[in-house]
Amino acid sequence: TVADLKGLKQGQLRLAVITTAKYFIPRLLGPFCQLYPGIEISLQVTNHERILERMLNNMDDLYILSQVPENIDVNYEPFLDNPLVVFAPVNHPLAKQKNIPIKRLTNEPFIMREPGSGTRRAVQKLFDQYGVKVKVKLELGSNEAIKQAIAGGLGISVLSRHTLMPDSSEFAILDVEHFPIKRTWFIGYPSGKQLSIVARTYYEYLLESAKKFVEENGDYGNSPVDKLE
Ligand code: PGA
């Protein structure tokens, strides 16, 4: 029977995911574990640079990240948009403005992710491109801590839109030109690595679940801000 076949799927699954995916991935693990009760999972959540280190050292079965490594040969597949947007406290003076020129962010108090973060890298690239110099008030190694700092009035920041779920009332997403920064989550593994049955099962489950998520929620993503509300 099908139940017997599922019972055959036993063993360990080691996942390593970038910080922005920590909202989406754990939510999906519940149903996966119910389908395959014999699979034991360990999940590492860390930034882009550390994910690359883990990949190089072959520490996990599968990796989720939003920028494909340049120097490691990987097999990968995109599965969901991961747009980066400008977060501000809900009462921020720019919260109600439309089409804010990106230059307007110059000198705005800003909260920045730590070096090694893919979010930070994408933000800096965009700001450099348009000559925007924000005033970095604080550097923090956690999206959650950044949200608390924004809510506390320390400044604005750029974060994955997925970090907003589910508590949206304290924050505004600013309608700044050139945002959202379009990014995509990938699932992948070093080429040449032989995936276990368990890892392959999860890989397919994730692609399938992401497809359902898009059907239910729209692409949730790389579209202009006003279409997201
Ligand atoms: P980060 O991951 O934690 O490295 O910023 C997010 C990303 O790369 O999208």
**pLDDT, tens digit, for every residue of 21-44?**
988 898 889 899 999 999 999 999
Q: What is the pLDDT of residue 226?
A: 44
- pLDDT range class, residue 164, cuts 50, 70, 90: confident
What does the block give as tokens for 164? 């907003």
| Interval 40-77: pLDDT, tens | 999 999 999 999 999 999 999 999 999 999 889 999 99
- How many A from CA of 118 to the centre of ligand 1? 4
- How many A from CA of 140 to the centre of ligand 1? 13
Residue 185: which of 15, 54, 20 has the closest Cα? 20
Best residue for ligand 1 mutational test, from 51, 55, 119 (most atoms within 8 Å of Cβ): 119
> Residue 7 carries which side chain, given as an amino acid letter?
G
- How many A from CA of 5 to the centre of ligand 1? 37
Is the C-beta atom of 163 inside 6 A of ligand 1? no
> For residue 44, which phi and psi values (nearest 5 degrees)?
-100, 130
**Residues 75 and 174: beta-carbon distance below 8 Å:** no
3-state secondary structure the chain: CHHHHHHHCCEEEEEEEEHHHHCHHHHHHHHHHHHCCCEEEEEEEECHHHHHHHHHCCCCCEEEECCCCCCCCEEEEEEEECCEEEEEECCCCCCCCCCECHHHHCCCEEEEECCCCHHHHHHHHHHHHCCCCCEEEEEECCHHHHHHHHHCCCCEEEEEHHHHCCCCCCEEEECECCCCECCEEEEEEECCCCCCHHHHHHHHHHHHHHHHHHHHHCCCCCCCHHHHC
| ipTM of the modeled complex | 0.96
pTM (2 decimals)?
0.90
